[in-house]
């Protein structure tokens, strides 16, 4: 692993250290007990063999056995306690990891949420099924510490054997010293070869895993289609099953090839490890047996030293495997670090939004141009316009003309590329962002209604003003439906989490979103195609009650249906990022221009 890999891995673990230091402490203690406990049994076995060979008394043998077994039992009990604690923490590690990720997602600049690369990082961090990246790294770290402590323990236990073999020189056993040097060289060579082979094979496994990661994301996308009845309507009615099966089959084939390649290298790695282990075991027993035969070590030492050396070589092999495995996850840890360290590009203003008693707000787009990050084409071009509080404004135009981008800039989801937007004469970038957001109540075309109680959906929180929520539902045209709900505002929308939940139609969900905008009672009300999911009768009801819904607030209404804009005093016609016409419906209808062209194209459907 490179220095950067370690840095990213420890940064990931650092996200755990703040409030969950006990997890890391229990991990280290658990790992130490897991590594040391087997050596107690190894040393006990060698000691008992020597005691039996020396004709020790039964009391002595029982004493050794009782001390060893007692020590093993105590260590096993401690290990069990730490294992239970550690495993409990691992069970909700996904949530522990998810909390900072979710906080970052909700706080980061909106432009990152529409960035494919940023979205890919989040997907890669969370692509491990029921396991979290953090849990996987902790699990590997646990095994890595066990292997490292095992190596240290083995060296400490075996060192006396080589010291004694060197003492054999003074006793005339020069061969034992030469044999120990040769034995060490061969063992270290085998360990090095095993380590290198493990690194090579695991590197090939990581490459294969990387190749199939993209197919895993696509597989999840196709599986999600089958997870809900809404997505399967098109699949069945349009008879797209064959297309779906073909696409999913191709993905499965590519994934199978990748998995087969991974299995191939796993098998080679396993064969290499087992072969090296078998050869090492043979050499260990030959060497230790020879030393015992010439009287340098005892028979019990043969058992202890041989078992310890085998544990040493096995631990080194595992360390090679685990380090390479950890290196694979360090790539995703790097994604985590980069995701969490995404800089805040948006200027954070500090000026509080003016609290005007008369509720007057003026908005000005002053030579505003905008292009999306990574694009060289302006979506809005040198836009100049003003409007005041209390006006009802409609925005119309063809798809891609810049209507939705205009709203995103006004709500400051993005900052302008050139020029500035002013509210009451002040650049909106200078305002406190949270206070600035309080100015707007927005119903986006792709609005979201959550599987929460109706009241919480309307109030956008758990503290619901009942009277105010009921009034908002009534004004949004959902009053009659609301009165039929047995649990009223406590009725859960959807059956995902509540068996007694109510399934709302698309139009009812849209009215709920409109009620949420009314409940917020913000100075600006923005509606992006607010009647797209409504039937004609409900649409007419919304139009007729629009004045009642928004009152004296500034309302901006985006629609493809020009007939729905007739109640607006001010209509902006967008085309290719510019406002090319502005006026009332009657004024624009009399002019030769895009509005009249669009109106005449749609008029036949209004007759």
Q: How confident is residue 532, by pLDDT bands cut at 50, 70 and 90?
A: low
529 near 414, Cβ under 8 Å?
no
Please state the rounded mean pLDDT for residues 4-23. Answer: 81
In a domain, 98, yes or no: yes
**pLDDT recorded at residue 174:** 42
434 near 426, Cβ under 8 Å?
no
Per 3-state DSSP, the chain is made up of helix, strand and coil in percentages (nearest 5) of: 65, 10, 25
Whether 146 has a pLDDT exceeding 90, the answer reads yes
**Alpha-carbon span 28 to 297, nearest angstrom:** 35
Q: Reading across the β-sheet that carries 554-558, which strands appear in turn?
A: 440-443, 524-528, 554-558, 392-397, 570-575, 578-583
Q: pTM for this structure?
A: 0.69
Please state the rounded mean pLDDT for residues 265-274. Answer: 81
Task: Identify the weakest region by mean pLDDT among 101-105, 420-424, 436-440, 539-543.
Answer: 539-543
Whether 391 has a pLDDT exceeding 70, the answer reads yes
In a domain, 601, yes or no: no
Tokens 């089958």 found at: 226
Three-class DSSP category at 92 = coil
In a domain, 528, yes or no: no
In a domain, 577, yes or no: no
**pLDDT recorded at residue 170:** 44
**Percentage with pLDDT > 90 across the chain:** 7
Task: Identify the weakest region by mean pLDDT among 191-195, 452-456, 597-601.
Answer: 191-195
In a domain, 90, yes or no: yes
**pLDDT recorded at residue 427:** 92
Encode pLDDT of 298-323 as tens digits. 788 888 888 888 888 788 778 877 88
In a domain, 367, yes or no: no
Q: How confident is residue 239, by pLDDT bands cut at 50, 70 and 90?
A: low
User: Which CATH number characterizes residue 241's domain?
Assistant: 1.20.1560.10
Whether 197 has a pLDDT exceeding 90, the answer reads no
Number of compact structural domains in the chain = 1
What is the pairing mode between strands 362-370 and 380-388?
antiparallel
Q: How confident is residue 368, by pLDDT bands cut at 50, 70 and 90?
A: very high
Q: How many residues appear in the chain?
A: 607
Encode pLDDT of 569-603 as tens digits. 788 899 988 999 998 888 888 888 888 888 888 76
Enumerate the H helices of 54-132 as residue ranges. Answer: 58-91, 93-107, 110-113, 116-125
In a domain, 102, yes or no: yes
User: What is the domain range of residue 178?
Assistant: 3-340
Taking CA atoms, 261 is separated from 198, 210, 223, 310, 390, in Å, by 16, 12, 24, 30, 66
Q: How confident is residue 237, by pLDDT bands cut at 50, 70 and 90?
A: low
Q: How confident is residue 149, by pLDDT bands cut at 50, 70 and 90?
A: very high
Please state the rounded mean pLDDT for residues 496-518. Answer: 82
In a domain, 328, yes or no: yes
Tokens 């096993």 found at: 76
For 349-367, letters b (16+ CB in 10 Å) and e give beeebeeeeeeebebebbe
Closest CA to 516 of 551, 549, 557: 549
411 near 526, Cβ under 8 Å?
yes
**Alpha-carbon span 277 to 557, nearest angstrom:** 74
Encode pLDDT of 34-49 as tens digits. 998 888 888 888 888 8
Whether 129 has a pLDDT exceeding 70, the answer reads no
Whether 173 has a pLDDT exceeding 50, the answer reads no
């Amino acid at each position: 692993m490179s220095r950067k890999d370690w840095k990213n891995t420890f940064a990931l673990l650092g996200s755990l250290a703040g409030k969950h230091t006990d997890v890391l402490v229990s991990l280290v203690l658990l790992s130490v007990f897991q590594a040391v406990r087997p050596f107690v049994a190894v040393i006990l076995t060698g000691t008992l063999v020597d005691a039996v060979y020396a004709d020790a008394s039964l009391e002595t043998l029982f004493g050794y056995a009782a001390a060893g077994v007692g020590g093993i039992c105590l260590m096993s009990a401690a290990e069990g306690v730490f294992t239970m604690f550690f495993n409990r923490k691992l069970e909700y590690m996904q949530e522990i990891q998810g909390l900072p990720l979710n906080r970052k997602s909700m706080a980061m600049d909106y432009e990152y949420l529409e960035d494919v690369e940023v979205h890919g990082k989040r997907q890669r961090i969370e692509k491990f099924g029921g396991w979290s990246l953090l849990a996987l790294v902790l699990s590997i770290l646990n095994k890595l510490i066990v292997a490292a402590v095992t190596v240290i323990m083995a060296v400490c236990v075996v060192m006396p054997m080589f010291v004694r073999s060197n003492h054999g020189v003074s006793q005339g056993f020069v061969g034992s010293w030469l044999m120990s040097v040769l034995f060490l060289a061969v063992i270290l060579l085998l360990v090095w070869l095993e380590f290198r082979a493990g690194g090579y094979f695991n590197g090939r496994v990581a490459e294969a895993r990387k190749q199939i990661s993209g197919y895993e994301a696509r597989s999840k996308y196709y599986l999600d289609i089958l997870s809900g009845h809404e997505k399967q309507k098109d699949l069945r009615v349009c008879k797209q099953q064959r297309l779906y099966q073909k696409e999913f089959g191709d993905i499965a084939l590519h994934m199978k090839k990748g998995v087969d390649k991974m299995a191939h290298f796993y098998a080679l790695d396993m064969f290499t490890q087992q072969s090296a282990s078998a050869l090492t075991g043979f050499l260990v027993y030959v060497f230790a047996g020879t030393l015992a035969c010439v009287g340098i070590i005892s028979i019990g030492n043969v058992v202890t030293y041989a078992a310890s050396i085998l544990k040493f070589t096995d631990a080194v092999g595992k360390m090679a495997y685990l380090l390479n495995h950890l290196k694979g996850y360090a790539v995703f840890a790097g994604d985590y670090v980069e995701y969490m360290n995404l800089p805040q590009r948006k200027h954070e203003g500090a000026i509080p939004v003016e609290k005007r008693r008369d509720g007057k707000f003026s908005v000005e787009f002053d030579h505003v141009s905008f292009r999306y990050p990574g694009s060289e084409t302006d979506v809005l071009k040198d836009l100049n316009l003003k409007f005041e509080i209390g006006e009802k404004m409609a925005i119309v135009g063809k798809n891609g003309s810049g209507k939705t981008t205009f709203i995103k800039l006004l709500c400051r989801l993005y900052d302008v590329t050139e020029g500035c937007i002013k509210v009451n004469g002040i650049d909106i970038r200078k305002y406190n962002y949270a206070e600035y957001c309080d100015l707007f109540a927005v119903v986006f075309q792709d609005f979201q209604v959550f599987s929460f109680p109706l009241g919480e959906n309307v109030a956008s929180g758990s503290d619901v003003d009942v009277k105010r929520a009921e009034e908002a539902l009534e004004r949004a045209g959902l009053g009659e439906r609301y009165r039929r709900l047995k649990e009223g505002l406590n009725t859960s929308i959807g059956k995902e989490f509540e068996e007694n939940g109510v399934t709302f139609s698309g139009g009812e969900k849209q009215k709920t979103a409109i009620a949420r905008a009314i409940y917020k009672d913000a100075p600006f009300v923005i509606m992006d195609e607010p009647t797209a999911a409504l039937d004609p009768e409900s649409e007419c009801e919304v139009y007729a009650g629009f004045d009642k819904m928004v009152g004296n607030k500034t309302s901006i209404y985006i629609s493809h249906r020009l007939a729905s804009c007739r109640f607006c005093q001010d209509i902006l016609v967008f085309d290719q990022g510019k406002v090319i016409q502005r006026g009332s419906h009657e004024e624009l209808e009399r002019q030769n221009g895009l509005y009249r062209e669009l109106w005449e194209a749609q008029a036949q459907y209004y007759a």
